[in-house]
Amino acid sequence: MGLIINLNGKFVRKEKAVVSVFDHGLLYGDGVFEGIRSYNGRVFKLDEHIERLYTSAKAITMTVPVSKEKMKAEIIATIRRNKLKDSYIRVVVTRGAGDLGLNPLKCPKAFYFIIAASITLYPEKFYKEGLAVICASTRRNIPEAVNPMIKSLNYLNNILAKLEANNAEVLEAIMLNREGYVAECTGDNIFIIKNGELITPPTYIGALEGITRDAVIKLARELGYKTSEKPFTMVDMYIADECFLTGTAAEVIPVINIDTRHIGNGKPGPITRKLIEAYREMTGTQGTEIYAS
Ligand code: PMP
């Protein structure tokens, strides 16, 4: 069966799921989105994703055309319609169709669509052996311009860094902020571990408030590790004992090499491995039931 897409509240086949060429999401990247996952028939952290979606929309003064409750129901219905248990769900809300000018006032109604598809993960090998990454020369958007805390459709900044990763034949790139502090990766948050303490950049540096990031901070505290949010530089990364990335798609994934330098002993560290296990336990047991009623 082909994918069925939720196009503004209507189910249509993938081939028929098209948007207007006058949509400001397409013309200007004017819109917001979420990437959500379901595991074994449960949507993980659905409320958190909905909150962030509506907060991002508010930040760009865009009214999501349906209520939060309705959006949740539409997401669940879309997964059901595609008969999925383990899925990656993309929710996109655009400013809607307007004219060719920039003015959002010319877009009378925001537009949304939901794609529920099977997931493409990093191969399991990388969770066991770790990833190599680089530090990109492209800096993260400055918060005074397009704030990275807004999950907007403007991902060109991240794409430019991803191109650098491609050129270096690695799968992710670390992005610094304007001052040279580590911000995040192109699609993931970043953590280092030094002397048993987990450290991640504060979001004011220029990073998304990742839902996986928050979940991992809580898990780490429950496991008795000290965690802090403080600025750090590439030197702190090179001398870290361990390093890992977090994201809805990536989950918790170890980094063992940065800019061709080994991190720690060049193997995933014990705390990272413990967190991978704890996070998997959590995704396997928590979430909103898709097929409950
Ligand atoms: N940073 C960026 C730039 C992202 O796009 C994402 C999500 N793909 C993340 C971090 C991780 O956020 P989350 O854990 O909420 O998926």
* pLDDT at residue 293 is higher than 80: no
Show which residues are catalytic.
151
Ligand 1 atom nearest the C-alpha of 52 is 15
CA–centroid distance, 99 to ligand 1, in Å, is 31
What is the structure's pLDDT at 27? 98
Q: How confident is the model at residue 119 (pLDDT cuts 50, 70, 90)?
A: confident
* Whether 177 contacts 142, CB under 8 Å: yes
C-alpha 130/C-alpha 184 separation (Å) is 17
CA–centroid distance, 129 to ligand 1, in Å, is 22
> At CA 180, angle to CA 174 and CA 181, rounded to 5?
70
Q: Over the stretch 66-92, which tens digit does the pLDDT of each residue have? A: 999 999 999 999 999 999 999 999 999
This prediction has a pTM of 0.97
Q: Over the stretch 129-146, which tens digit does the pLDDT of each residue have? A: 999 999 999 999 999 999
Average pLDDT rounded to a whole number, residues 115-124: 88
Give the amino acid at 58. K
Domains and CATH numbers, the chain: 4-117 (3.30.470.10), 124-283 (3.20.10.10)
